[in-house]
Amino acid sequence: MAEEFGFEVRATLPNGVGRAGVVHTPHGDIATPAFVAVGTQATVKGVLPQTIADCGAQAVLANAYHLYLQPGPDVVDEAGGVGAFMNWPGPTFTDSGGFQVLSLGAGFKKVLAMDTEGLTCDDVIAEGKQRLARVDDDGVTFVSHLDGSKHRFTPEVSMGIQHQLGADVMFAFDECTTLMNTRPYQEASLKRTQAWAVRCLREHQALTTARADKPYQALFGVVQGAQYEDLRRKAARDLAGLEVEGRRFDGFGIGGALEKENLGTIVGWATDELPDDKPRHLLGISEPDDLFTAIENGADTFDCVKPSREARNARVYTLDGPFNIHNAAHKRDFRPIDAECDCQVCAHYTRAYLHHLFKAKELLFNTLATIHNERFILRLVDAIRASIADGSFDELRRDFLGRYYATRRLPRQPGEDRPGGGDKRAG
């Protein structure tokens, strides 16, 4: 096991921003760019940890909110940390829980991105839902989505939970706003998140000292600021320069809801202000065009529930674009999902069989479809990483996206009326 946490850049794109490198953790190295598979409740739903490793995953991300509610961080700590608990030997990440507290509390479940043209509201709530979370300057009081019990998260509570979960990479507790929030609220929220960042660093330092017998856990600050350039840049500068009792952030997350067409611009604002010698994690993306855009603008790692969630809903990926395998056309289709895919599902199972499993509501469908989708995204990111090193990034992007989106509209342009993309964290 490595002793500490670190990052090194090994290749860059001609723009000097996108890069390939290595994140060093106590449980192994992560070659970047890297897609971190989401195992919200210490499991990638329906798939063995060894199978996720066989798909090419280098790290998994679990969620503090969900593991706090069940089985409890003390149980995970006693097991030796989330990696040991789930029998995953490699690097692990944990989300702070802030996204789930606020998104579930507002009734939006896993996605805070939305089409908000003409809308502003500081008490955002999904239609037909009741608010389950309330924010104040000290923290968030919320009601469990499981049993209605009342709980409270503060920066100190989140740090305590994440230290017990024992992940190699943790995230500071932040307030995740929506695009519907007004500019004054975004400003106030940014100040709150900055104050929470100070408290997270202080508590992280105390817990690192108290748990000196444990492997070192890195802490990432989270850059918020919604769609505003000045707020995003200020957030990044403030977090990059923050030092509390000799402790600085080991890396940075870029979070919050954002409009898809502005993804690259917003990531670029943040990475322009962040230090080059620390890794940047973009929370909640996996769409192929977003991956290329994020990487080009300096993101090193990213996670998203989408590949596994879409798999469970019968949407599977191919080089010629995704399709719904439950459609009747696949009932007698004895081809693999994607003839050019190297996953075990495509090697041994047909579309007709998967169609049957889904229609019969067999649990095996979830496992097989998830294996395929996770491998598809992991393989794409592997190819992007290699293309940065050999200089073929632009060619790969042109060829891959041209084929993937050939039968659909290409990614939207500014002003087009389509739902936004953004922070789709574990949930």
Active site residues: 95, 303
Backbone angles phi, psi at 98, to 5 degrees: -60, -40
Burial (0-12, 13-18, 19+ Cβ within 10 Å), 384: buried
Beta pairing partners, 34: 301
Contacts 24+ apart (CB under 8 A), 14-22: 15/296, 17/268, 17/271, 17/272, 17/296, 17/297, 17/298, 18/295, 18/296, 18/297, 18/298, 18/388, 18/393, 19/298, 19/300, 19/388, 20/385, 20/388, 20/389, 21/279, 21/300
Cα–Cα distance between 7 and 271 in angstroms, integer? Answer: 15
| Secondary element (H or E) of residue 37 | strand 34-38
Q: List the structure tokens of 68.
A: 């706090």
Q: Which residues of 415-426 are buried (b: 16+ CB within 10 A; e: fewer)?
A: eeeeebbbbbbb
Dist CA 186 CA 280 (whole Å)? 22
Task: Copy the structure tokens of residue 358.
Answer: 């889904």
Pinpoint the alpha helices (H) of 93-182.
98-105, 155-165
- Both tokens of 199, joined, read 């408290």
Spatial distance between the Cα atoms of 240 and 251, rounded to a whole number of angstroms: 9
- Measured between alpha carbons, how far apart are the two ends of the chain, in Å? 30
Element spanning 68, H or E: helix 64-69
39: closest CA among 15, 72, 63?
Answer: 63
| Ordered alpha helix ranges (H), 166-280 | 183-210, 229-241, 263-273
